[in-house]
Structure 1
Amino acid sequence: MNVPAAPVRLDRFMARANAAYYSGRDPFADFITAPEISQMFGELLGAWVAVTWQAMGTPTPFVLAEAGPGRGTLMADALRLLARVAPACYAAARVHMVETSPRLRQVQATSLAPHVGVCAPVWHDAVTGLPPGAMILLANEFLDALPIRQFVRTARGWDERSVVGEVFVTAPATDLPADGPLATRDVPEGEVLETCEGALGIARQLGRRLMDGMGAALFIDYGYDGPGWGDTLQALCDGHPAWPLARPGMADLTAHVDFAAFGMAARAGGCTTWGSVTQGAFLSTLGLFPRAQQLARNQPHEVARQIGEAAQRLAAPDRMGGLFRVMALTSPGITGLAGFEGCMPTAPTCAGGGGNAGPAESGQAKD
């Protein structure tokens, strides 16, 4: 990727850099995602799909979609679980994958090959391309890679960050988003506030779709739940943290997900939101540790130890269990949702409101 000489707005720089990265490199050489850590992750999400499908009234057929499916491991594990314990749900599923990389589509096709006879996958470039009808959407580490804009609060208003070479430059913002966190948060002077217009657009679109038809969408990502601020842009290159503006196209650029803004945009679209809750709480409620014990039973000591370690890595508060959060969007008619027991849903509402901002959570993006 050529480095521009003139200032480029951060979201445009990030979009071009990540497009080059995912088309030319193997991202799994730089980081590992939850589905690759253990089959338990995809199995538990498969169980969540089955229970949610029941709560939706068992629509047949229904769209079972995944956004940002990586190698296809999560969907493959979920489908294997459904085929074994929920065959009616498995037979009703029509699998759709949101993936732009031709190379990753080929990898996903190989992972899902055992299920082609029942639910052959169809690929789309964007969530907006998913077909109409009842739907359950899964999205693990999808929102974090969407391009962000960064604004700096000044005495006169907002400056916006752009990129020149390997450094940030700021200038008075001339194209402020009409909604989102910039419209609702009181940020101290000198602080950075991030907004992800792509994520907010997806939230609004899904909110409208779920208001008009039966369905649910589950988002799992690292991020923060309170109305916060701070610079969370980060990069991984060759498995190590790197300066985000160096070697564009050679590093995975991500930012923490603003779940408060995402949920507000979804509710403005017309759906109900659940959470966010920590990944550890969500997976534990779904039965992660009993499943780990079941898998470890009668296994050699070293294998059993590895299974237990994988469960801890996924759920421990000081690891992915605390860094990653889970939010669900549902049609307003769904009154109970697995994994969110004890969590009161938030009803559809118009965008707006405010409140005091708190510091954004920080931490390394990929476990």
Structure 2
Amino acid sequence: MTPLAEIIVQRIRATGPITLADYMELCLLHPRYGYYATRDPFGQAGDFTTAPEISQIFGELCGLSLAQAWMDQGRPAPFTLAEPGPGRGTLMADMLRAMRAVPGMAEAADVMLIEASAHLRGLQREKLGNVRHLDGIEELPDSSLFLMANEFLDALPIRQFQRVEEGWAERVVGLDKDGLRMGLAPPVDLPRAGRIGDIVEDCPAAVAVTGAIARRIAAHGGAAIIVDYGGWNGYGDTFQALRAHAPEDPLAHPGEADLTAHVDFAPLAAAAIRAGAEVSRPLHQGDWLLSLGAEARARRLAEAGDEGAMDALRRLTSRDEMGHLFKAMAIWPKGAPPVPGFDALRHHADDA
């Protein structure tokens, strides 16, 4: 049993079963034993590999997409350039390098990283220098905001509900003689249709974060690009753990595995619209990157001696790799041109 598992067991014995949201928050962010507090989880030596770690192509195209949105909105200066959950800082470094090709943009950017892990903050400073760190989205200033979020929302705590005869019962983490186990709380009423056994997931934190981002953009200008794996109005149990690049039981090693769930983009889009912003339909990551010129960039890198550039392009864009599982969605102010590669959700409601 891991040290964090012992803490969780003691809490359940004292106060009863806990929600998946509480379990995820403890496993990922416990100040001493939490997953992100104790390790560098990225790359081959870690537990998973994100798009920026596969190739600079991803970050460069994200940066150039935001750069075009910045120019389309009149080059506001200064402006906030933000990234929640910035990992090692690789994505921000690649975006800034691309933005330096746009006269005046990098100099006008006030870079802010939203990071809860003290360990990862140290890695980010090694990569980017003495950047400004924030604890949450709510600390972002009321100014023009250009934001990139890659694989951030999937790690936010979720709640799960399972359809039973009497309604929807929340899935909780409790105990049996062998340790942690999943169980069901008493049923409640939810405004969702479903058949017996169906599971739905709710991530209030993701909706709140998206709404806060969209409100700033609607009021002060800017743009946000959100990339994550997931879908639209999905059903099913997507709660998962990854350890050493392999899936495992999410209850097996608390604090030593990455815990995530698929992102439901439908409530995020609704939150952005309620906030007064324009929002795109979710696009397949592969389609979006290819529309921005990913193939041409990969070929130039290959011609310059990057032997892995074309393989990286395949991993980022192929439907059998990250190309279809991962989706990209953009937010921008009403009346402004769409973020490059996107168009407004209202024009494609049937395709979302």
Q: Same fold (TM over 0.5)?
A: yes
TM-aligned CA deviation for residue 336 of structure 1: 2.4
TM-aligned CA deviation for residue 90 of structure 1: 1.1
- Correspondence for 2:23: 13
Letter in 2 for 1:90: A
TM-aligned CA deviation for residue 3 of structure 1: 2.8
- Correspondence for 1:122: 132
Aligned counterparts of 1:271 and 1:157: Cα–Cα separation in 2: 35
Aligned counterparts of 1:224 and 1:322: Cα–Cα separation in 2: 10
Aligned counterparts of 1:39 and 1:204: Cα–Cα separation in 2: 29
- Correspondence for 2:70: 53
TM-aligned CA deviation for residue 144 of structure 1: 0.3
- Correspondence for 1:350: none
- Correspondence for 1:117: none
For residues 210-249 of structure 1, the aligned pairs below 5 Å read 210-225=217-232, 227-249=233-255
Q: Does 1:333 align with 2:335?
A: yes
Task: Give yes or no for contact 1:313–1:319 (8 Å, CA) kept in 2.
Answer: yes
Deviations 1:272-322 (A, max 9, x none): 1112001001111111000001111142xxx43x11000110011111011
Aligned counterparts of 2:340 and 2:139: Cα–Cα separation in 1: 27
Task: Give yes or no for contact 1:271–1:332 (8 Å, CA) kept in 2.
Answer: yes
For residues 301-316 of structure 1, the aligned pairs below 5 Å read 303-304=306-307, 306-316=308-318
Deviations 1:4-25 (A, max 9, x none): 2331111001110111010012
Task: Give yes or no for contact 2:99–2:105 (8 Å, CA) kept in 1.
Answer: yes
TM-aligned CA deviation for residue 87 of structure 1: 2.9
TM-aligned CA deviation for residue 323 of structure 1: 0.8
TM-score (norm 1): 0.86
Displaced runs of 4+ in structure 1, greater than 4 A? Answer: none
Query: Tell me, what secondary structure is at the counterpart of 1:322?
Result: coil
Aligned counterparts of 1:94 and 1:130: Cα–Cα separation in 2: 11
Q: Does 1:149 align with 2:159?
A: yes
Indicate which of 141, 158, 182 corresponds to 1:131: 141
TM-aligned CA deviation for residue 26 of structure 1: 2.1
Indicate which of 132, 149, 168 corresponds to 2:182: 168
Indicate which of 321, 324, 335 corresponds to 2:323: 321
For residues 194-273 of structure 1, the aligned pairs below 5 Å read 194-225=201-232, 227-273=233-279
Task: Give yes or no for contact 1:278–1:322 (8 Å, CA) kept in 2.
Answer: yes
Query: Tell me, what secondary structure is at the counterpart of 2:247?
Result: strand
Task: Give yes or no for contact 2:278–2:344 (8 Å, CA) kept in 1.
Answer: no
Task: Give yes or no for contact 1:53–1:59 (8 Å, CA) kept in 2.
Answer: yes
TM-aligned CA deviation for residue 346 of structure 1: 3.3
Q: Does 1:105 align with 2:112?
A: no
Deviations 1:68-102 (A, max 9, x none): 0000000001111111x113111111100000111
TM-aligned CA deviation for residue 66 of structure 1: 0.4
Aligned counterparts of 1:326 and 1:190: Cα–Cα separation in 2: 30
- Correspondence for 1:91: 107
Aligned counterparts of 1:167 and 1:191: Cα–Cα separation in 2: 19
Task: Give yes or no for contact 1:162–1:170 (8 Å, CA) kept in 2.
Answer: yes
- Correspondence for 1:116: none
- Correspondence for 1:191: 198
Deviations 1:200-257 (A, max 9, x none): 11122223222222121111000012x2210000001122111011111111000000
User: Structure 2: where are the runs of 5+ without partners?
Assistant: none
Q: Does 1:27 align with 2:48?
A: no
Aligned counterparts of 1:290 and 1:318: Cα–Cα separation in 2: 21
User: Structure 1: where are the runs of 5+ without partners?
Assistant: 114-119, 177-181, 348-354, 359-367
Query: Tell me, what secondary structure is at the counterpart of 2:282?
Result: strand
